[in-house]
Chain A
């Protein structure tokens, strides 16, 4: 039985944990049973699990991101419940550590990253008039590797035990001396395989955007979201390899007794923090730039005017991409550098606020002379501007190295990054989802429920995080599972808990809205429900498999607007056969083997590791010799589809 001991979780006398194990088991059984009962396995396999269509992969990313949002959100509510009153004992210290670690990892890697990549998948090829991404099969592999990583990570709390060293996973705490059990191995391997997926996405999208734009679309005529995606993927390609190597070094330390990050034997524990943030700071810009892109699309559409300052928008993103690699030390100002090093990184950090500020002014100026329509996506965008500015200002406060000795590792920092990530990334993704919903599914989400959700989320956000600025300045440390009555943090923490509940209600309303609109929303919304401007709106809702019947001929970044208002001839020539890639089960199988590989590695089951490794190599060899020329959609078939949509031509 020794062999199986390793899979048990470290003792928790916590009924909730067992309740959640049972819940996970029941939900899994229910899903399998449901799909079998409705005889949907075939459909699921041939239409979704094996798909290489960028739109479907995008939707799968977004669904996974939403699932992870709820997983991470449940963690968040648990943490706020624990800290709602002084000396609470809802979670013990160990459990609290695991919960905040899981929350951070899930939200950054498996929610936010998946959401932005999903959005890029769905939107970018449409915005540049392409039929798919440059490497569709690779794209499916990226998704399934991400999914395998996410599932592996979520398995940790039922098999073997969750990581508990924070999402930043600092050594020596994360080393075997202080974190003996397998939690951190899970962290290493889950992030490793999903990170490889992300890196491949980066390469794929750079190739797509550089090589597959519709005729006439020069770089400076790309819609702004595509620009943001290009820059984001550039950052991904330069930043993620650092994470890959750092995780590998951590794995070697933990599982093969090397000394990269140990405190003795020539190791350098600070090196982990250094490498982590060399990746980590660019990562926050990986998250925020696509959000900026989404806001640019939405604000232009609903101000009913072209985006103000296109060139300065592009230039500021390029500058941000460079600067984002020059500031990482601001995450550990307090960990031993002298005044010279800290001052240099303090100044580069403050410099980032300048291009960011330029973008804020451009959005304001776009709205200024526009005729604003307050739809739900626009309301998120309008709320984003002041809220994000507050987050930016507190960021500049944190960037003052000497002052950071006061703020670092307090709730003030926690308030800062939630203040940029929630109104920045999360609002943008929800707004983008609502905005592109008709493109994905052919109907609109209900505006009234959407606005209710919006108000709950915005007010919930403010109540939840603004109090933390105050308690942080008063000295409340982050990642502490409880505090004393005398500290005086009680009342504001209670407000914060209440805010977290409002946020939860808001997200629940979004889910309800999906259900409600699916049942009751009218289906005849047409191809242009928002009176939009850029190219992705020049095809049908929902988008047919081949995207555009005729490859569009583009003359500006607002090609669709020119087509509607200025008589620009977007579709020249007639319908021809279209060449499309074939579906394939290869990606999901390979990712499945990766999952087994990583799982066995986590638990030192070397036989499994070797078998899975052989499997991975075999899959790669198979792919090298596989002949797959794709297929053609014939002219007649396309004409048929187009006629069903009421004929674009």
Chain B
């Protein structure tokens, strides 16, 4: 029975519901813009991670090394592009 029951997935499901509730709370509680956005960004990233590992089964096959390397590569590129755009369009923009 133990092996048959998808404990990991159920826990993952509950956890992702929890994350959604936390994110939703930003709407219901009165807080500063920065605070709200921080909560949203953090929960969003954790949520994406949970989905990837628990429901899309990253890390369960032989090539999990490759999958994680690709994922990290993608995240790094996305961050670089966003930071670079901010640098070029806002922080470092003169005119």
Which residues does A use to contact B, with CB under 8 Å? Answer: 210, 234, 238, 242, 268, 270-271, 274, 278, 322, 325-326, 328-329, 332, 336-338, 340-342, 344-345
User: Is B59 interfacial (CB-CB < 8 Å)?
Assistant: no
19 contacts between A and B (CB under 8 A): A234-B73, A242-B81, A270-B89, A270-B93, A271-B89, A274-B89, A278-B81, A326-B80, A326-B84, A328-B84, A329-B88, A332-B88, A336-B94, A337-B93, A338-B92, A341-B93, A342-B92, A344-B87, A345-B84
* Contact in complex: B81, A325 (CB < 8 Å): yes
With contacts A274-B88, A329-B88 known, what are 15 further pairs, Cβ within 8 A?
A210-B66, A234-B70, A238-B74, A268-B89, A270-B93, A274-B85, A278-B84, A322-B76, A325-B80, A332-B88, A336-B93, A336-B94, A337-B94, A340-B92, A345-B88
| Chain B, residue nearest A278 (CB) | B81
| A204–B87 CA distance with the chains assembled, in angstroms | 34
Q: What's the minimum C-beta distance from A229 to chain B, rounded to whole angstroms?
A: 16
Q: Would you call the interface of chain A mostly helix, strand, loop, or mixed?
A: helix
Q: Please report the number of residue pairs spanning A and B whose Cβ atoms sit closer than 8 angstroms.
A: 50
| A224–B85 CA distance with the chains assembled, in angstroms | 34
Contact of B63 (CB < 8 Å), options: A210, A278, A332, A344: A210
Q: What's the minimum C-beta distance from B23 to chain A, rounded to whole angstroms?
A: 24
Which residues does B use to contact A, with CB under 8 Å? Answer: 63, 66, 70, 73-74, 76-77, 80-81, 84-85, 87-89, 91-95
Chain A residues closer than 8 Å to B95, beta-carbon distance? 336
| A329–B89 CA distance with the chains assembled, in angstroms | 10
Chain A residues closer than 8 Å to B73, beta-carbon distance? 234, 322
> 6 shortest A-B CB distances, which residue pairs?
A341-B92, A338-B94, A336-B95, A329-B88, A337-B92, A341-B87
| A641–B38 CA distance with the chains assembled, in angstroms | 65
Q: What's the minimum C-beta distance from A323 to chain B, rounded to whole angstroms?
A: 10
Q: What's the minimum C-beta distance from A91 to chain B, rounded to whole angstroms?
A: 34
Q: What's the minimum C-beta distance from A107 to chain B, rounded to whole angstroms?
A: 26
Q: What's the minimum C-beta distance from B81 to chain A, rounded to whole angstroms?
A: 6
| A546–B81 CA distance with the chains assembled, in angstroms | 42
| Chain B, residue nearest A277 (CB) | B88
Q: What's the minimum C-beta distance from B94 to chain A, rounded to whole angstroms?
A: 4
Q: What's the minimum C-beta distance from B48 to chain A, rounded to whole angstroms?
A: 16
* Contact in complex: B85, A278 (CB < 8 Å): yes
| A322–B89 CA distance with the chains assembled, in angstroms | 21
Q: What's the minimum C-beta distance from B79 to chain A, rounded to whole angstroms?
A: 11
Q: What's the minimum C-beta distance from A317 to chain B, rounded to whole angstroms?
A: 14
Q: What's the minimum C-beta distance from A243 to chain B, rounded to whole angstroms?
A: 13
| A370–B73 CA distance with the chains assembled, in angstroms | 38
* Contact in complex: B77, A341 (CB < 8 Å): no
Q: What's the minimum C-beta distance from B58 to chain A, rounded to whole angstroms?
A: 14
Chain B residues closer than 8 Å to A234, beta-carbon distance? 70, 73
| A344–B80 CA distance with the chains assembled, in angstroms | 13
Q: What's the minimum C-beta distance from B15 to chain A, rounded to whole angstroms?
A: 29
Chain A residues closer than 8 Å to B70, beta-carbon distance? 234
Chain B residues closer than 8 Å to A338, beta-carbon distance? 92-94
| A326–B81 CA distance with the chains assembled, in angstroms | 7
Q: What's the minimum C-beta distance from B74 to chain A, rounded to whole angstroms?
A: 7
| A246–B52 CA distance with the chains assembled, in angstroms | 27
Q: What's the minimum C-beta distance from A607 to chain B, rounded to whole angstroms?
A: 39
Chain A residues closer than 8 Å to B88, beta-carbon distance? 274, 329, 332, 337, 341, 345
Q: What's the minimum C-beta distance from B93 to chain A, rounded to whole angstroms?
A: 6
| A586–B56 CA distance with the chains assembled, in angstroms | 29
| A326–B66 CA distance with the chains assembled, in angstroms | 23
| A284–B34 CA distance with the chains assembled, in angstroms | 38
Q: What's the minimum C-beta distance from A213 to chain B, rounded to whole angstroms?
A: 12
Q: What's the minimum C-beta distance from A258 to chain B, rounded to whole angstroms?
A: 18
Chain B residues closer than 8 Å to A341, beta-carbon distance? 87-88, 91-93
| Chain A, residue nearest B81 (CB) | A278
Q: What's the minimum C-beta distance from A70 to chain B, rounded to whole angstroms?
A: 36
| A242–B63 CA distance with the chains assembled, in angstroms | 28
Chain B residues closer than 8 Å to A210, beta-carbon distance? 63, 66
Chain B residues closer than 8 Å to A342, beta-carbon distance? 92
| A344–B88 CA distance with the chains assembled, in angstroms | 10
Contact of A329 (CB < 8 Å), options: B63, B66, B84: B84
* Contact in complex: A325, B92 (CB < 8 Å): no
| A615–B84 CA distance with the chains assembled, in angstroms | 41
Chain A residues closer than 8 Å to B63, beta-carbon distance? 210
Chain B residues closer than 8 Å to A336, beta-carbon distance? 93-95
| A329–B76 CA distance with the chains assembled, in angstroms | 18
Q: What's the minimum C-beta distance from B61 to chain A, rounded to whole angstroms?
A: 11
| A325–B84 CA distance with the chains assembled, in angstroms | 10
Q: What's the minimum C-beta distance from B19 to chain A, rounded to whole angstroms?
A: 25
* Contact in complex: B91, A325 (CB < 8 Å): no
Chain A residues closer than 8 Å to B92, beta-carbon distance? 337-338, 340-342
| A328–B92 CA distance with the chains assembled, in angstroms | 15
Q: A328-B84, A341-B87, A344-B87 are in contact. Are A238 and B93 (CB under 8 A)?
A: no
| A336–B95 CA distance with the chains assembled, in angstroms | 6
| A549–B68 CA distance with the chains assembled, in angstroms | 36
| A322–B76 CA distance with the chains assembled, in angstroms | 9
Chain B residues closer than 8 Å to A325, beta-carbon distance? 77, 80-81
Q: What's the minimum C-beta distance from B86 to chain A, rounded to whole angstroms?
A: 10
| Chain A, residue nearest B70 (CB) | A234
Q: What's the minimum C-beta distance from A476 to chain B, rounded to whole angstroms?
A: 26
| A344–B87 CA distance with the chains assembled, in angstroms | 10
| A402–B63 CA distance with the chains assembled, in angstroms | 46
Chain A residues closer than 8 Å to B84, beta-carbon distance? 278, 326, 328-329, 345
Q: What's the minimum C-beta distance from A314 to chain B, rounded to whole angstroms?
A: 14
Q: What's the minimum C-beta distance from B56 to chain A, rounded to whole angstroms?
A: 15
| Chain A, residue nearest B95 (CB) | A336
| Chain A, residue nearest B76 (CB) | A322
Q: What's the minimum C-beta distance from B69 to chain A, rounded to whole angstroms?
A: 11
Chain A residues closer than 8 Å to B76, beta-carbon distance? 322
| Chain B, residue nearest A268 (CB) | B89
| A596–B93 CA distance with the chains assembled, in angstroms | 42
| A344–B85 CA distance with the chains assembled, in angstroms | 12
Q: What's the minimum C-beta distance from A637 to chain B, rounded to whole angstroms?
A: 35
Q: What's the minimum C-beta distance from A422 to chain B, rounded to whole angstroms?
A: 29
* Contact in complex: B94, A238 (CB < 8 Å): no
| Chain B, residue nearest A328 (CB) | B84
| A340–B92 CA distance with the chains assembled, in angstroms | 7
| Chain B, residue nearest A329 (CB) | B88
| A340–B88 CA distance with the chains assembled, in angstroms | 9
Which of B70, B76, B84, B88 has most chain A Cβ within 10 Å? B88
Chain A residues closer than 8 Å to B85, beta-carbon distance? 274, 278
Q: What's the minimum C-beta distance from A207 to chain B, rounded to whole angstroms?
A: 11
Which of B74, B91, B94 has most chain A Cβ within 10 Å? B94
| A50–B93 CA distance with the chains assembled, in angstroms | 52
